[in-house]
Structure 1
C-alpha cells in the first residue's frame, strides 16, 4: 500500500506541513478588504502567517458595523481553528525553498493587537450609557 505524500511548506519547503488557510480582514467605514493565504505550511511559517494576519485583523478589522459584528470575529475564529492544525505539527525539517518565516512575538504581546479594544470599549460605553438613561 503506498504511503501518503508528505506535504512540504509552500514558503520554506520544510516538512511536515499542514494544508491550512489563514485570513485577514480590514473593515473600513464603507468598504471592506479580505486577504487569505492558503496551502501547506510548516509549524514555523504557519505560526508566522497566523500571527501576522490575526494582528492585522485585530488592528484594522473593526472599523465598519458589519465588520465589527460579523467579518472580524468570523475571521479570528477561522484563524484559531486553522492554527490548531499547525500547532499539532512537530518542528519542521530542513527547508529546500528558502528561509523560514519568523513567527515573531505572540499576538498578545504585539501592541497593534490592542487597537481592537477601541471598538469593544466604545460598544461597552454605548451599552452602559443606554442602560443608565443616556445621562
Structure 2
C-alpha cells in the first residue's frame, strides 16, 4: 500500500507544471554568462596564426590538399557585436590571404569571446573564398559574415 501511495505521489509531482526560477535562483544560480567584450583585433598575429594553422590542417586532413596560407594582409573590421550586447561578443573581419598556389583570396572571419578550447579564451571561425569545399558557409563564404 505504501509503495502504491509513493508511486501516486511521484506521478502527481511529475505531472505538475514546471515553476519559473525564483528570485534567488535568478540572482545567483541562473546568472548567465558575463562577457567583457575584450577581443583581439582583426590584425592580431595570434588570430592570423590560428587561421593559417587550422586552414592547412583542414586542407590536408579532409581534402588531401597541400594548400596553405602564406600571408594574411589588408585586415578590416566589418562589425563588432552586430546583434546587440546580450549576445556573445564577436568581431567580424575580412582580410586578403595569399595561398601557396599563388592566388589571392578573401578570408571572412569572426573572433568570439569564450568560444576557444573549452571556452577558456576567444575562438575564431573563418572561411576562405573558393576553398569552402563542403559549403559550410555558402554561398561564397557569406554566412561567415554578419
The TM-score bracket by the shorter chain reads: under 0.3
TM-score scaled by length of structure 2: 0.21
TM-score scaled by length of structure 1: 0.22
Q: Which has the larger radius of gyration?
A: 2
Structure with larger RCO (C-alpha < 8 A, sep 6+): 1
